[in-house]
Structures are given as C-alpha cells and as structure tokens.
Amino acid sequence: MTILTKKKIIIANWKLNGNLILIKNLLEKISLIPGYILKSIDLILLPPHVYLLEVKRNLFKKDEIYIGAQNIDKHFFGAYTGETSVLMLQDIGVKYVLIGHSERKKYHLESEKSISEKFKIVKSCNLIPILCIGETKKEKQLGQTEIICKKQIDEIFNLLEHKDETFNNSIIAYEPIWSIGTGQIPELKEINEIISFIKNYIKKKIFPKKVKNFFVIYGGSVNSNNVQRIFKKGGSDGLLVGAASLSHKDFSKIIYNSYYTNKKENI
C-alpha cells in the first residue's frame, strides 16, 4: 500500500472517545464539505478499534477518506487477551496505524524498542505507519528537541533490515509532548525548523537512494484558529488533530482553513 499524495494530510485521533451518535454526526457534517476541498486533502480517521468498521461502513466517500488504528499489538495472533493484531486490521481494510503516541508511552509504558517492533510489523504487512515523535517540556527547555527526535528515528532505523526503505510509505508526526492537549503550540519557525530537520536527517541516512512517499506532519493542540499559522510558509505536510477532531464544527473548520491557507500559500 502506498501513499501517493501531494496533498495535505489531516489525521483525526479520537483517542478513547466517541460513540455511534458522534460517528453519525461527524460523518454527516464531513459529507457537507465540498468535494473539491475534500479532494485537496488526505483525510484519515482514527476511531477506537471497536468503531473502525462502523466508520468504514458509513464513509460516504470511500476513496477519499481513510481509516486507521490508534495502536496494534506486536503479535500477529495468539493468547494475548484484549489486543488487536495488524492482520485483523488488514482484514477489515484499515490502511494506517498510529504508533508510539506519547499517551501510550505514558499510560502503557511502551518502550522505544516496542515501538520499533510495531513499526516493523506494520511495514511488513504493507500498511502505513504514522510514527509519533517529539520532546518533553524539559527536553525543549534544555534545547534537546533535535537530539530527541533523532534518537527516536534511530531506534526505528536500527531495527529494520532494509534501512534504505525504512521510511518509504510512512508518515512521521512531530508531536511535542508538552503541546498535546495543553493549548500550547511551538512558534511557527520552530515547527518548520524541526520538520525540515527530520526530513533532512532521514534523507541523509538513506543516501544515495531516495526516500519515497514520506511525509512529516505536525500534531499538538491544533484547532481551527491556529491552523492557518501552522500551514503558513509551512514545511508541514499535514496535521494530527486530537481533541478538536471530535467536534464536527471545529474539525470542519480545520479542513476549510487548511484548504484556504494552502491555496493562498501556493499562489
């Protein structure tokens, strides 16, 4: 499976939220967005696993909106009660898998090693990983943002055999941990600098081959008011949206504002 997009990617991470009514409302409201706007983005919805099929069944434009999972288990099948495997996701038509979200590190003690293993499994099944990386507040204050991102990327490189293909067909979400759910976002300059650092670092690692279909997006307290700022003169290939993706008003506005900002930027 490949991402063949030159569009902006917008990902909705619902986390542990949502129900059948919210799904119905949200999809209905998204369906009111004009086709030319929806065509200009790759829209990916990450509901809780239990609702993946419901979202898929209710997608009005199956070719333009994709579903993804918020996590997977490291095993393909077996005695691992309560888990979901990548094969099951593949079976129901899931295309994307979020990996290494900071909330999984914090509440489920996920290690960098386990994150790399999951990345490898997702790639081995031809699904598209969305790898979250980013620094804590303390690390930012110590000026370690680049070092931390580099370290998290290296963990992935170290585990994969075909290193030059590691990040083909992949998305990295730069999500400063201090920004998630806090309403604080980095300066635009800082976002653009770190995104360009991540892209250059990965390109340098796989020299002389070229990384194909690789995108870096921003996540952390994105809402309809700051989306213009994030995309302005932006190096960001898209957005990972948490809380604001649960409100149909906010989320629709994010989509509209992304479209108009990017249109202006490309003139």
User: Least distance from C-beta 232 to ligand PEP, angstroms?
Assistant: 19
Nearer to ligand PEP (CB atom), residue 13 or residue 71:
13
Judge whether 139 counts as a catalytic residue.
no
User: Least distance from C-beta 184 to ligand PEP, angstroms?
Assistant: 9
Nearer to ligand PEP (CB atom), residue 172 or residue 211:
172
Q: Scanning the structure block, which residue is given the tokens 């809380």? A: 243
The contact set with ligand PEP (CB under 6 A) reads 13, 175, 180-181, 219-222, 240-244
* Cβ atoms 186, 230 nearer than 8 A: no
* Cβ atoms 22, 47 nearer than 8 A: no
* Cβ atoms 179, 186 nearer than 8 A: yes
* Cβ atoms 47, 18 nearer than 8 A: yes
Nearer to ligand PEP (CB atom), residue 198 or residue 211:
198
* Cβ atoms 158, 164 nearer than 8 A: no
Instruction: Measure Cα distances from 36 to 32, 40, 77, 81, 250 in Å.
Output: 11, 6, 41, 44, 19
Q: Say whether 232 sits in a helix, a strand or coil.
A: coil
User: Least distance from C-beta 207 to ligand PEP, angstroms?
Assistant: 31
For residue 140, report the phi and psi dihedrals to the nearest 5 degrees.
-65, -45
User: Least distance from C-beta 60 to ligand PEP, angstroms?
Assistant: 25
Judge whether 110 counts as a catalytic residue.
no
User: Least distance from C-beta 241 to ligand PEP, angstroms?
Assistant: 5
Point out the residue whose Cβ comes nearest to ligand PEP: 242
User: Least distance from C-beta 230 to ligand PEP, angstroms?
Assistant: 11
Nearer to ligand PEP (CB atom), residue 27 or residue 133:
133
Q: Could you give the CA distance from residue 133 to residue 174 in angstroms, rounded to a whole number? A: 5
Bond before 129 cis per omega within 30 degrees: no
Q: Which residues on neighbouring strands pair with residue 214, listed in sequence order?
A: 170
Catalytic position from the list 49, 64, 101, 108:
101
Nearer to ligand PEP (CB atom), residue 25 or residue 182:
182
Nearer to ligand PEP (CB atom), residue 85 or residue 245:
245
Largest Cα–Cα separation, the chain: 55
b/e for 63-91, b at 16 or more Cβ within 10 A? eebbbbbbbbbeeeeeeeeeebbbebbbe
What is the DSSP code (8-state) at residue 79? S
Catalytic position from the list 103, 110, 135, 175:
175
Q: Say whether 113 sits in a helix, a strand or coil.
A: helix
Query: Catalytic residue numbers?
Result: 101, 175
